[in-house]
Structures are given as structure tokens and as C-alpha cells.
Amino acid sequence: MLRFYIALAAAKSAYLAIKLLKHSGGTSFAGMVALKICPDFLKYCNKYVKSSKYTVTGTNGKTTTAGMLAHILEQDGEKVIHNVKGANMLTGIANVFALSIPKKFDCAVLESDEAYLTKLYDYISADFLIVTNLFRDQLDRYGELATTAGLIQSAIDKTNGLLLFLNADDPLVANMGKEKEAFYYGFEEVEYMLKNHKTSTAPSEVFACACGEKLQYSKQFFAQEGHYYCPKCDYKRPDPDCKGYAQIYDDYTILKVEFKGQSYYFILNTVGLYNAYNALGAITCALVTGVEYEVIKTAVKNYKSIFGRTERKIINGHNTLIQLIKNPTGASEVLKTVDLKSNILIAINDNYADGRDVSWLWDADFEQLKDTSNPIVVSGIRAKDMAVRLKYAGVPTDKIKVIENLKQAVEFVTNSDKMERNVTILPTYTALLSLNKMKF
């Protein structure tokens, strides 16, 4: 216990030092110090959470789903500890506890990297887990989807009393609920009400049933998400406990949710079907755990995306939309929503946190950008790779501009006397971190 308090004091001092020196955003360093001094640091943190601990994992949508759930719980009067900036490895989670203790909280909402979930459960006694989806992501770190699914499944299997909230539309995720108590969520109908709806041509994963037969779809929303079944045996998508019906507009979504014979209506101020899935996961968890409908409705409507997840900013006078891209499925869904009349900046890094392997650029549907009105600026460590990808996507070479320095690239796309022109920035994770530190 003494080591815990020493670690806590050292972590707080380390955070103060890096803030004074302006060396980083301080999302993980203090946690790294705490865990170095006291490897069991997170185990001692359990006592600072009075009741429920919610965890969220999956390839895409963790930060938005966890953020929306935390916002709902706060609107319900709960004091919530939450790794709001998306630092989701053990160091990031330890960081938020180290900077918050000795304050106590009613509940915790912890986003966890898929590979670290089983390690997190060694220390944190979680009550609930939302699994969003499983798409190919950072193959240099995790390998293929079966590997990622196995990591999450091992965390589930080792944790007693864990209540699951699973995406029924994802065959890999839905399969995780066989031996545990689980609630399922999924979409029955999706209507696109966009001014210029675009259909993605990105490749989808092919999944086989346990019997070896390829899964078929009666409805397929994107990637492997949809209503699947095996033509050979009885395996099929589980009937969701929370059924979603979405109308997707350019700037918002109208969502109807059916739960226990009742219909609930929500307005989401986020774009795209992928964000509707995130909201449906958070809403399902809130409804099942007893949060009142009016509280959820208000919280969902006034929830504001953070840190590059459909984040809206004013940069140099321009309305700017920032959307993180990091794998082919997620990027393809984001690309469907891009305003082709905006000034577009794509920033690609290949640091460890991004994934060293950028071959995913060739599976993402950048063909969506071939009819853009204005030049596309590419930036970051792998700017030239991105330029080549855009050329093969059909973007004219005279509309591709390489500015490797991110600060200069942002200044370029926002340096227009046409103030009515919007700006779209699509960064990978570490480019997003750099962008977030910039002053405009």
C-alpha cells in the first residue's frame, strides 16, 4: 500500500513537470510512472469507484461510445471517472486515476485497447463490457481478426459476473456472448437521407460459420455489419434486445430504439452510420442498467464529439470537421461523409500508435474523393504514400499537394479568403495528437 502512495505522488509530480515543460499532453506519462513504481497500481484504484465499472472495447468507436455513455451517466447525476482523451492502454487508464485520486467516483467508464483488455481485468473488477465491432486494424500489432477476437474473448472468459453488450450485426462480436449473460444491439433498418449519398466500394471481410460455410446476408450495412445467416446450418444473427432504426442525414441522425416493447426516439448530432452504431451501444447499456429515457435523450442530443471523432472546430475562421481515420473500414465510412466542396487535408503517420503498416490505405475507399472540387493536401510522415494512393484513386495529380509539415498543411487549407468554405481534416492517431496541440 505504501508503494501505491509513493507511485501516486510520483505520478502527480511527473504530470506537473511535463505540463510546466510543455513536453506532451500528459495522457499517459504519469500513468507510466505510477505503474513503474507500483505494478499493481490499478488494483488499488478499485476502492475509489463506489459502484459500477463500465468498460468499452472494439476496433472502431470505442472513444465515442465510452464518451457518450459517460456523458449519459453524468447527466443522470453520477460522478464518473473516464479516460476521456482515448488513452486506452494500461498507462493511459492509470494516468486518469493517478490525476484524479484521492477524489472518489460513483462509477468508471474505461475505454480499453483490445489487446490490453485482458490485462486490465487483472486489476480492475469490471461489471459491464460493450464490444463495438472488429475490423482489420494495425496488422503489425495484432495480426488478423481471429487474433483480436481471441484477445477479447480471453478477457471475457476470465471475468466472473461480467454483463456483456454486444453488436449483434457483427458476426465476430455476436459470437462472444455464448457462455455469458449478454444483451445484443443492432439495426433493423437504415435509411440514408443525405444530399449526395455515396456507396462504398471498399472490400468486405468474408466470414465462415463454425460449420465451414460462408455466411450470407439478407441486409449488409457496411463491412461485415448486417443481418447474416448460414445457408447450411441454423446459425444466424441473434435477435437484438435493442433494435435500432436510423435515418442518416448530412449533419445529424434520427434514431429510433425498440426495447422491451417500447419505442424511444433520439437525435444524434454526429454524422454517419458508424456513429449511430456507437450511440446505439451506449443507449443499450444505459437502458438496460436503468437510466431514464428522458435523461438518455437529453444527454445524447447535447453530446459533443471530442478529440477528432467527428470533432468540429473553428480554425482560422473556417468551420473545420476533424475525423480520425486508422483502418480501411473506418476510413471508408468516414469518406462517405466528406464534403467534396470543402478544403481537404489528409495526414498519415506510421508511428507505433498508428500502426507501422500503412497498406490499409489501399483497402480504404479513397475513390470517394476523386470528384473533389479543390486540391487535396496530404501531410505527415507518409504523405507521399497517401499522394500515390490518391493518384490511383482517380484524383488528378494537379489536385494533389504534398506538405509534409502538418502545421504548414493546416495553415494552407485554412488560408482562404472564402470563409464560407468548410475544411475537412482526416488524420491518423498521432497526427491527431499533434493537431490537438496546435494553436490557431
Per-residue pLDDT of the chain (440 residues; tens, 9 = 90+): 899 999 999 999 998 888 887 666 678 899 999 999 999 999 999 999 999 999 999 999 999 999 999 999 999 999 999 999 888 999 999 999 999 999 999 999 999 999 999 999 999 999 999 999 998 765 444 456 788 899 999 999 999 999 999 999 999 999 998 878 999 999 999 999 987 766 666 656 667 787 888 999 999 998 889 999 999 988 899 999 999 999 999 889 999 999 999 999 999 998 899 999 999 999 999 999 999 999 999 999 999 887 777 888 899 999 999 999 988 988 998 999 899 999 999 999 999 888 888 999 999 999 999 999 999 999 999 999 999 999 999 999 999 999 999 999 999 999 877 767 899 999 999 999 899 888 87
What pLDDT score does 141 carry?
46
* Distance between CA atoms of residues 45 and 90, nearest Å: 13
d(CA 310, CA 304): 9
For position 200, what pLDDT does the model report? 65
C-alpha cell at 270: 454526429
3-state secondary structure of 60: coil
- Closest C-alpha among 253, 427, 402, 397 to residue 326: 427
Catalytic residue among 113, 357, 385, 398: 357
Question: What per-residue confidence (pLDDT) applies to 358?
Answer: 93
DSSP 196: T
Q: How far apart are CA 364 and CA 108, in angstroms?
A: 35
Sequence-distant (6+) residues with CB within 8 A of 152 are 57, 114, 117, 118, 131, 134, 176
Catalytic-residue membership of 350 = no
DSSP 8-state symbol, 108: E
Q: Say what the pLDDT of residue 142 is.
A: 45
Rounded CA-CA distance 68/383 in Å is: 33
- Tell me the β-bridge partners of 264: 257
pLDDT at 25: 62
pLDDT at 202: 60
Under 8 Å between Cβ of 149 and 134: yes
- Angle in degrees, 0-180, between the axes of helices 273-288 and 328-336, rounded to the nearest 10: 110
